[in-house]
């Protein structure tokens, strides 16, 4: 009896690992639809695992199988039973051949189907007995066109005509006949309607498209292109060479400079968008020469004398970003090397060596002055220095004037640019205590990166921000990421009504589907702010977000921002920490001089443009506030709060005075006498110790929710240390600790886990959380003495 073959787990082809599993995308079969090959086979060749399989198939051991290629197939649609009963049953038949343009259903084609051209079709052979479902083994290779909405959201802006599409240079995918929706037509005759940059005016049901440009979606570069000539030359290939459909361009060498480029370096001409290839007027005969070369190439291909020459090897040149190039066909560039079967993963040795080789100031210098633009609109405020100062000193105002973070800005920007231009995914972990400018710096990096992409100085990308404090639950981040990678237009269509489970399923299929994810090949940058709030017990959310960038071809770049430097080592499991990588940037607390510079920069902006600028804060007042904050936390927001409150006390129009040191001392004393501070001073000794223990456990674990058993253990450790100045150092019993906990719960200083599940837990396993500001607890308890400050780490 023959042994039954056990199906093997599909694996992802990777340069680093050859056995990484992927999510297998199940493709729905259309009921009542049959597919059959048209005519006799054209030829047979050995299958290639890197080109003849869909991304969800297991290609192990298939390199010796035979592929039988055909010229076309038919799709037969059966009539409905109701039509058959009425005698009107009629079967519709569609014929698909090589060179036909079709609409294709992809994972991201929610609203618009993708557009492609069939370049080959085959079936794995030999076929001894015809299959009852031949569409399950039929393979169709598609060369993609791209719609404007399939390009990156952040890119150099350009207008397009209605239903205009772009031909990709070499982006292909292997699909089954079930993914082909219907035939369509592509023409070179421009329509009369112009969208003027609005991509939402395309007709959902349109099957007629206009194409006159080829595009490199990764780099955002456009080239002049003649679709019918491309199709004619590719169809003449006797061996059905799929490479004939690719548009080859020669990359410019870094040291080569033409005369025209040297002139453009001094100043860019006005009106040039910089994203299209432009001919030079000095060579009027270049187009005639192109016609002669093209004709010679076509003759050579028809005679079979040299099948290796390519049409575009002598026609197209890559335009440099923000530069105009001269069309030169006098020399034929050498054929570029074929890419390897797999791309290096982000953390592989090959990828790290490539980043180290390319690392440097090439993208970042010379940079325009950082944080030098004031984006806060002060035009609506009166010409009063005190009012303007109160406005700019508010923590809610976020001007670009954020000094003392230039080095971190350049470092983060360098990491992100390397990943965007390298074409690989990756993670960047940014940590630091609250109030050290992490989020403001990252937002400045994203603004700079967007401007670079819009100026065609870096590759285009799609951007999405996920804030752990602004979503209802951590799993809601899946839907936000899916909206970004699928190209969903939130501004016009609103948010997708999709469950977190469905969004996760689609994201898994998208990042593991290879070519079937769609024709777009741009990067996606995700900012995950307040990462601490996205931590769950299973850590599945952050694991998925850190794991997807490691998949080959994902081009997902995650910027994770957290308030704890050692959060990965203390909280994350080993598999999550390994996906995070080693690219980390730590924001240290501000020193006194840095806080002074931050406050003074905002005060300078407040009096800028005033006829009679008045000094709002004295130098001694700013220095005193900065010193008091730097000794406690180094939180810039607290320094701004103190200075703003002092300005409010000194504001008394029309004779407002300058804030002095005495005003700063009064504000600090007022803050120390807040209701929270008064409550903490009235707490008993063991209540203060338990709050200190809870604060220490929170900082140690890196999460807000901690077990009461851990707090009790820390309480026992702190009692002998903090009770040295008191009469008794006796440790309390478990019952006495329960009474202390009940007292803190009654005053709402602590909150405890509640509910039916929590009721079945022991008291030590139930989780508690601080309901008071951590900085306030640290400041008030730190005033108790040196032992308290040492225990709290202040």
Q: Of the candidates 526, 561, 587, which is a domain's last residue?
A: 587
CATH number at 662 reads 1.10.8
Q: Are residues 415 and 523 in the same domain?
A: yes
pLDDT per residue as tens digits for the range 537-549: 788 999 999 999 9
pLDDT per residue as tens digits for the range 655-682: 888 999 999 999 988 887 788 888 998 8
Q: Are residues 686 and 720 in the same domain?
A: yes
Residue with the bigger pLDDT between 250 and 107: it is 107
- Angle, alpha carbons 546-548-550 (nearest 5°): 85
- Distance, in Å, from the CA atom of 764 to the CA atom of 767, rounded to the nearest integer, reads 8
Q: Are residues 684 and 773 in the same domain?
A: yes
Q: Are residues 316 and 442 in the same domain?
A: no
331-345, 493-507, 638-652, range with the lowest pLDDT? 331-345
Please give the pLDDT value at position 79. 64
- Distance, in Å, from the CA atom of 253 to the CA atom of 317, rounded to the nearest integer, reads 11
58-72, 291-305, 499-513, 577-591, range with the lowest pLDDT? 291-305
Residue with the bigger pLDDT between 598 and 570: it is 598
Confidence of residue 273 (pLDDT cuts 50, 70, 90): very low
- Distance, in Å, from the CA atom of 791 to the CA atom of 338, rounded to the nearest integer, reads 62
Confidence of residue 357 (pLDDT cuts 50, 70, 90): low
Q: Are residues 664 and 693 in the same domain?
A: no
Determine, yes or no, domain membership for 187. no
Q: Of the candidates 647, 673, 699, which is a domain's last residue?
A: 673
Say whether pLDDT at 592 is over 90.
Answer: yes
CATH number at 469 reads 3.40.50.300
Highest mean pLDDT among 43-57, 188-202, 276-290, 425-439: 425-439
Domains contained in the chain, number = 4
Residue with the bigger pLDDT between 662 and 65: it is 662
Q: Are residues 669 and 685 in the same domain?
A: no
Determine, yes or no, domain membership for 476. yes
The helix or strand, by DSSP H or E, that contains position 296, with its residue range, turns out to be helix 286-303
Q: Are residues 519 and 649 in the same domain?
A: no
Of 454, 550, 500, which Cα lies nearest the Cα of 157? Answer: 454
pLDDT per residue as tens digits for the range 691-722: 999 998 888 777 788 899 999 999 998 888 88
Please give the pLDDT value at position 351. 56
- Say what percent of the chain tops pLDDT 70: 70
Question: Which range of residues forms the domain containing residue 292?
Answer: 278-335
Q: What are the residues whose beta carbons fall under 8 Å from the beta carbon of 34, sequence distance 6 or more?
A: 75, 76, 78, 134, 135
Q: Are residues 657 and 701 in the same domain?
A: no
Q: Are residues 785 and 693 in the same domain?
A: yes
Determine, yes or no, domain membership for 16. no
Say whether pLDDT at 636 is over 60.
Answer: yes
Q: What are the residues whose beta carbons fall under 8 Å from the beta carbon of 396, sequence distance 6 or more?
A: none
Average pLDDT, the chain: 76
Q: Of the candidates 286, 318, 335, which is a domain's last residue?
A: 335
Confidence of residue 551 (pLDDT cuts 50, 70, 90): confident
Q: Are residues 331 and 411 in the same domain?
A: no
The helix or strand, by DSSP H or E, that contains position 596, with its residue range, turns out to be helix 592-607
Highest mean pLDDT among 4-8, 278-282, 612-616: 612-616
2-16, 335-349, 624-638, range with the lowest pLDDT? 2-16
Say whether pLDDT at 236 is over 90.
Answer: no
CA quadruple 772, 773, 775, 776: dihedral positive or negative?
negative
Please give the pLDDT value at position 350. 61
CATH number at 786 reads 1.10.10.10
Determine, yes or no, domain membership for 357. no
188-202, 238-252, 425-439, 627-641, range with the lowest pLDDT? 188-202
């Amino acid at each position: 009896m023959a042994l039954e073959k056990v199906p093997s787990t599909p694996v992802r082809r990777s340069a680093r690992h050859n056995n990484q599993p992927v999510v297998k995308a199940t493709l729905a079969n259309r009921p009542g639809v049959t597919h059959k090959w048209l005519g006799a086979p054209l030829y047979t060749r050995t299958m290639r695992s890197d080109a003849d399989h869909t991304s969800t198939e297991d290609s192990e051991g298939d390199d010796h199988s035979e592929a039988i290629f055909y010229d076309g197939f038919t799709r037969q649609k059966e009539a409905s039973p109701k039509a058959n009963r009425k005698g009107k049953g009629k079967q519709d038949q569609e014929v698909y051949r090589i060179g036909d343009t079709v609409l294709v259903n992809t994972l991201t084609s929610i609203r618009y189907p993708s557009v492609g051209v069939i370049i080959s079709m085959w079936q794995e052979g030999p076929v001894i007995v015809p299959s009852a479902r031949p569409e399950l083994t039929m393979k169709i290779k598609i060369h993609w066109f791209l719609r404007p909405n399939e390009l990156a959201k952040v890119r150099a802006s350009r207008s397009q005509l209605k239903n205009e599409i772009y031909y990709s240079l070499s982006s292909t995918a292997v699909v089954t006949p079930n993914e082909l929706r219907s035939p369509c037509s592509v023409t070179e005759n421009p329509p009369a309607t112009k969208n003027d940059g609005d991509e939402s005016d395309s007709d959902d049901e349109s099957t007629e498209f206009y194409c006159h440009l080829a595009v490199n979606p990764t780099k955002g570069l456009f080239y002049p292109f003649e679709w019918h000539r491309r199709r004619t030359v590719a169809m003449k290939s006797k061996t059905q060479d799929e490479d004939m459909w690719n548009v080859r361009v020669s990359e410019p060498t870094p040291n080569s400079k033409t005369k025209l480029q040297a002139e453009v370096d001094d100043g860019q001409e006005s009106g040039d968008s910089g994203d299209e290839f432009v001919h030079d007027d000095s060579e009027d005969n270049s187009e005639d020469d192109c016609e002669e070369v093209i004709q010679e190439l076509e003759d050579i291909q028809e005679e079979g004398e040299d099948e290796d020459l390519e049409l575009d090897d002598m026609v197209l040149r890559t335009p440099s970003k923000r530069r105009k190039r001269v069309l030169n066909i006098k020399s034929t560039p050498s054929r570029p090397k074929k890419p390897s079967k797999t791309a290096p993963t982000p953390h592989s040795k090959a990828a790290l060596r490539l980043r180290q080789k390319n690392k440097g100031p090439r993208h970042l210098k010379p940079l325009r002055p950082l944080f030098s633009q004031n984006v806060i609109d002060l035009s609506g405020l009166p010409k009063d220095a005190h009012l303007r100062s109160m406005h700019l000193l508010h923590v809610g105002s976020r001007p670009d004037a954020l000094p003392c973070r230039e080095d971190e800005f350049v470092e983060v920007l360098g990491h992100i640019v390397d990943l965007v231009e390298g074409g690989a995914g990756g993670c960047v972990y940014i940590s630091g205590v609250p109030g050290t400018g992490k989020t403001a710096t990252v937002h400045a990096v994203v603004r700079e990166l967007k401007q670079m992409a819009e100026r065609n100085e870096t590759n285009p990308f799609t951007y999405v921000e996920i804030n752990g404090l602004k979503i209802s639950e951590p799993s809601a981040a899946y839907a936000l990421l899916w909206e970004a990678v699928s190209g969903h237009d939130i501004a016009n269509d609103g948010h997708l009504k999709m469950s977190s489970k469905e969004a996760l399923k689609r994201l898994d299929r998208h990042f593991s589907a290879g070519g079937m994810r769609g024709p777009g090949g741009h990067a996606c940058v995700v900012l995950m702010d307040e990462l601490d709030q996205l931590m769950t017990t299973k850590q599945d959310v952050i694991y998925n977000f850190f794991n997807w960038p490691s998949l080959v071809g994902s081009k997902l770049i995650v910027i994770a921002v957290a308030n704890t430097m050692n959060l990965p080592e203390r909280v994350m499991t080993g598999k999550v920490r390994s996906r995070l990588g080693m690219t980390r940037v730590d924001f240290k607390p501000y020193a006194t001089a840095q806080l002074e510079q931050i406050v003074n920069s905002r005060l300078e902006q407040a009096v800028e443009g005033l006829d009679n600028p008045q000094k709002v804060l004295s130098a001694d007042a700013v220095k005193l506030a900065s010193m008091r904050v730097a000794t406690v936390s180094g939180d810039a927001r607290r320094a701004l709060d103190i200075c703003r409150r002092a300005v409010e006390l000194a504001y008394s129009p029309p004779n407002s005075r300058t804030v002095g040191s005495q005003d700063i001392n009064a504000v600090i004393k007022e803050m120390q006498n807040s209701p929270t501070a008064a409550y903490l001073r009235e707490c008993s000794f063991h209540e203060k110790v338990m709050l200190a223990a809870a604060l220490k456990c929170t900082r140690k674990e890196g999460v807000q929710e901690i077990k009461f058993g851990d707090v009790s253990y820390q309480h026992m450790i702190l009692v002998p240390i903090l009770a040295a100045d008191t009469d008794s150092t006796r440790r309390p019993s478990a019952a006495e600790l329960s009474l202390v906990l009940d007292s803190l719960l009654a005053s709402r200083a602590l909150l405890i886990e509640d509910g039916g599940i929590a009721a079945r837990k022991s008291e030590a396993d139930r989780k508690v959380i601080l309901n008071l500001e951590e900085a306030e607890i640290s400041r008030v308890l730190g005033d108790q003495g040196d032992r308290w400050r040492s225990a709290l780490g202040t």
